[in-house]
Structure formats: structure tokens, C-alpha cells
Amino acid sequence: MVAGRADHVTTNDAHPAIPAPAPAGDRRLIVLWLAGIAGVAALALPAGTAPPGGEYHADKLLHVVAFAGLSVLPALGFARRRTALLAALTMIPFGAALEVAQAMVPGRSGSVGDVAANTVGTLIGIAAAALLRRLLYRDGA
């Protein structure tokens, strides 16, 4: 139980044995988000750590998935919708900054295509989080 958050121990009225979902504003999601940002930065910047792109640009899919995940976490983790949206939107400049930083690392290169994939992933994550918030937190959180 989180201190001062008795709502974490509520149960689902329809199924008392199933705990209710954590309310919007769950600090654990924010911690996970920050760890994810650090992890993505740590993996993206060192020389020789580029994901395989291949002929079909499969690395773009990795960018979309990673940034969708990075934007879902704050979009669900912050209680206030505006804060959640703004935090999730910070993943767009973060993705662009990573690509600029990669261009400065020997053996790496930044890519406008990667920035686009990061942005698409962020927008997908925000849309998914909006849907999840609507389904999970019907009280308008």
C-alpha cells in the first residue's frame, strides 16, 4: 500500500476477489517511466549499439514500440490529464535529442526517420493511454 493512498486496497465490486486497478496517478508507473528513459538513453548512445536495421528498416518498429511504451507510462502514471499528456509529449523532443546525440557519437548516426518513428510511437502510446484511462478510470481521472 502506498502511504496516504487507501484507494490501492479497494476491490472490484463486480468481482470482490479481483483487486481494482490502481488509480490514475500511480507513482510506480512514473518510476518505471523514468527508468525506461534512462534505459533507452543508455542503449541508444554508446557506439556499436545500434539495432539491426536491415533491408526492411525493422529498427523503425523498435523505435515505435519503445516510444509507445515510454509515452503510455506517464499518460497513465500522472493523475491529472494535462500533466499526463505533457509528460508523454516530452518523449518527442527526447527522441529527437537522442538522434542528435547519436550523430555526435563516433560510429553512430542520427536519423530523421528514427525521429519520425519515435514521434509516431509517442502518439500511438498517448492514444492507447487515453483509451485505457477511459476504460479503467471511468470516474474521469
Whole-angstrom distance, CA of residue 92 vs CA of residue 141? 24
Whole-angstrom distance, CA of residue 131 vs CA of residue 125? 10
- Position 55 scores a pLDDT of 57
Domain locations in the chain?
23-136
Whole-angstrom distance, CA of residue 101 vs CA of residue 4? 41
Residue 17 burial by Cβ neighbours in a 10 Å radius (0-12, 13-18, 19+): exposed
Proportion of the chain above pLDDT 90, given as a percent: 47
- Position 136 scores a pLDDT of 78
Contacts for 75 with CB less than 8 Å, ≥ 6 apart:
84, 85, 87, 88, 125, 126, 129, 130, 133
Whole-angstrom distance, CA of residue 87 vs CA of residue 93? 11
Phi, psi values for residue 19, rounded to 5°: -65, 145
pLDDT tops 90 at residue 56: no
- Position 51 scores a pLDDT of 61
Joined together, the cell numbers standing for residue 54 give: 536491415
What is the per-residue pLDDT across 104-128, written as a single tens digit (0 to 9) for each?
888 888 889 999 999 999 999 999 9
Q: Is the pTM of the predicted complex or chain greater than 0.85?
A: no
